[in-house]
Amino acid sequence: MIERVVKIIKYNAAQLLVVLSAAKTTILEWGRGTGKSTVLAERMIKCVHQMPKSTGILYGASYSQIKERTIPSLISSLAEHGYYQDQHFFIGKKAPKNWNWPEAYESPIDPENSMYWYNGTVVIFVSQNSNATSGRGLNGDWLIGDEALTYNGEKFMTDASATIRGGLMKIAEYPDGTWKYFKDCPLHHSITLASSTPISVEGQWFLRYEEEARDPSKSILFIRANALVNKENLGKQFFISQRAVMPDFLFNAEILNIRVNTIKDGFYPKLTKNHEYSTMPEDYNPFYQKKNETCEADTDLDISIPLIIGVDWGANINCLCVAQRHDQELRFINSLFVKSPLILDDLADKFDKYYEPIKSKNNLIKFFYDPTGNTSTANSRYTFATQFVNILSLKGWKVEMLTRGMSNVNHEDKYKLWSELLSETQSKYPKIRFNTHNCRELLISMKNTPAKRGTKVAIQKVKSSEKRKGLAQEHATHFGDSADLIVTGLFLHLYKGFTSMPEAKVQ
């Protein structure tokens, strides 16, 4: 006998709106901690029991996202509702045969990416980026998806329309299809998506539902809510701890659910989602599992042209961003960092390990760095810059050291140069583009960097985040500084009206 422990669940106001709704399409733009997993579990339970033996879809950007991020919190939330793994449902396998559970109307052959419920309902995991076992050909009756900001919106719309079609049959009297089952269930062919507010270009797509929800002829519920609606469950300490470790930009977006493209009066005010691009890795790519270790899955990496790196070093964190110069674009394709107690040598090792697969084909690096790197340290005959270069040279890289002198470019020149570059109004500059996945920390840093009126120059970058206790330093202004090094090194001479850059030194 299957037993279920009955618990009392107190939904917050935003969750209650979903629980009481029977809209065909439900879109939740909710901050972290608002209770997305709880309400997605409740929606799944409803669909499972209102449509026994149905086929549900649990949708995600990748199988790793579904299995490593969505499923664990979903299992926990299902348990809160009294439904337990290996008792009420199985994941990746069917129940023992002697349990005599019914089969779904359309049961998958391979159980690996499926969840089997005791009443015959099956939930199939559909990865957006898999060519082998995607949702093509499925006849789904309902769909649930988390972290919608990570989806390719156009592909999702195509997948959803092609997949959520279960319960239809074609007969002579109804050649266009008629209902075979679940025709009276309000949640049949329903779509439920949840996500925090997008902070990059690829996530903006699902916000279009907000305007569509204003049309009463469409059964769409769009709810915006932040974590404060769930403060009774989260407790005050949650907000204190999150505020301590997040920059203002990220806290506002992920906790308070405030839509912001850039910080008001920021140092990079013209940086928008239009400067970002996405290269979603494919699940079926054999190198995908090594994505955090090597560059082999980076589809925007051009091995025929040199890597350009900008390095900003410090006591707490060492940052490196990677760019490539094309005729019409400068693309920032990656950002890497190490934190104390790891040091600059470890950053060089990390870079080498990541780009080792292309070294035999193109080993040239153009190196821009903080000018303090040209100063020798007390306990070494080498400067920071030459130490870094020596490590890469010993590993087989050919490095051009391109930073001259001991002084930094003043903030006003950086500010105005970035403004000219990002406005894209002058043909002497290429367009600037950022890989939204690999450069996430770089983009957060730049979008979170304030500016103020300076005393010696008109514009001053505010770098107080670098000293803020508890703040994740990869989200402070360090990464923006590393990008500054590249653009000033490449284009400051154009901004100043000179015809060429200083001569490079090759080591």
Q: What is the pLDDT of residues 237-249, one digit of tens each?
A: 999 998 888 777 7
Q: Say if residue 381 is in the same domain as residue 331.
A: yes
Q: What percent of the chain has pLDDT over 90?
A: 48
Map residue 371 onto helix, strand or coil: helix
| pLDDT of amino acid 162 | 81
The number of domains in the chain is: 2
pLDDT above 50 for 291: no
Q: Which contiguous run of DSSP H or E holds residue 318?
A: strand 317-325
Q: 């950022």: which residue's tokens?
A: 434
| pLDDT of amino acid 217 | 85
| pLDDT of amino acid 286 | 37
CATH number, domain containing residue 402: 3.30.420.280
In a domain, 261, yes or no: no
Q: Say if residue 323 is in the same domain as residue 220.
A: no
In a domain, 456, yes or no: yes
Q: What is the mean pLDDT of residues 141-147?
A: 93
pLDDT digits (tens, 9 = 90+) for 462-480: 888 888 776 778 888 899 9
| pLDDT of amino acid 172 | 46
Q: Say if residue 206 is in the same domain as residue 300.
A: no
Instruction: Work out the mean pLDDT of the chain and round it to a whole number.
Output: 84
- Comparing 34-43, 278-287, 323-332, the range with the smallest average pLDDT is 278-287
Shortest CA distance to 74 belongs to which of 131, 106, 35?
35
Where in the sequence is the domain holding 144, given as residue range(s)?
13-233
Buried b or exposed e, range 284-306, using 16+ CB within 10 angstroms: ebeebeebeeebbbbebbeeeeb
In a domain, 481, yes or no: yes
Looking from the CA of 227 toward its CB, the CA atoms found within 13 Å total: 21
In a domain, 268, yes or no: no
Long-range contacts at 43-46 (CB < 8 A, ≥ 24 apart) = 43/18, 43/144, 43/187, 43/192, 44/74, 44/78, 44/123, 44/144, 45/78, 45/81, 45/83, 46/187
The model's confidence at residue 131, banded by pLDDT at 50, 70 and 90, is: low
Q: Say if residue 423 is in the same domain as residue 333.
A: yes
The model's confidence at residue 264, banded by pLDDT at 50, 70 and 90, is: low
Q: 């279009």: which residue's tokens?
A: 208
The model's confidence at residue 77, banded by pLDDT at 50, 70 and 90, is: very high
Q: Say if residue 174 is in the same domain as residue 31.
A: yes
In a domain, 244, yes or no: no
Euclidean distance between CA atoms 441 and 354, whole angstroms: 17
Q: Which of 182, 211, 233 is the last residue of a domain?
A: 233
Higher per-residue confidence, 145 vs 497? 145
- Cα 222 off chain centre by: 22
Q: Say if residue 225 is in the same domain as residue 347.
A: no
Q: Which of 177, 203, 233 is the last residue of a domain?
A: 233
User: Which residue type is seen at 178?
Assistant: T
> Is the Cβ–Cβ distance between 92 and 114 less than 8 Å?
yes
CATH number, domain containing residue 83: 3.40.50
pLDDT above 80 for 128: yes
| pLDDT of amino acid 229 | 94
Q: Say if residue 228 is in the same domain as residue 277.
A: no
Dihedral of alpha carbons 357, 360, 366, 369, sign: positive
In a domain, 256, yes or no: no
pLDDT digits (tens, 9 = 90+) for 395-440: 999 999 998 766 778 888 898 999 999 999 999 999 999 998 899 8
pLDDT digits (tens, 9 = 90+) for 154-181: 788 888 878 887 765 544 444 554 556 7
Q: Say if residue 480 is in the same domain as residue 347.
A: yes
Q: What is the mean pLDDT of residues 370-397?
A: 80
Q: Say if residue 65 is in the same domain as residue 166.
A: yes
Q: Say if residue 196 is in the same domain as residue 341.
A: no
In a domain, 243, yes or no: no
Q: Say if residue 25 is in the same domain as residue 112.
A: yes
| pLDDT of amino acid 200 | 60
- Comparing 24-38, 124-138, 352-366, the range with the smallest average pLDDT is 124-138
Q: Say if residue 54 is in the same domain as residue 104.
A: yes
Higher per-residue confidence, 506 vs 119? 119
In a domain, 238, yes or no: no
pLDDT digits (tens, 9 = 90+) for 186-228: 899 999 999 998 876 556 788 889 888 988 888 999 999 999 9
User: Which residue type is seen at 132?
Assistant: A
pLDDT above 70 for 103: yes
Q: Which of 233, 262, 287 is the last residue of a domain?
A: 233
Euclidean distance between CA atoms 298 and 317, whole angstroms: 25
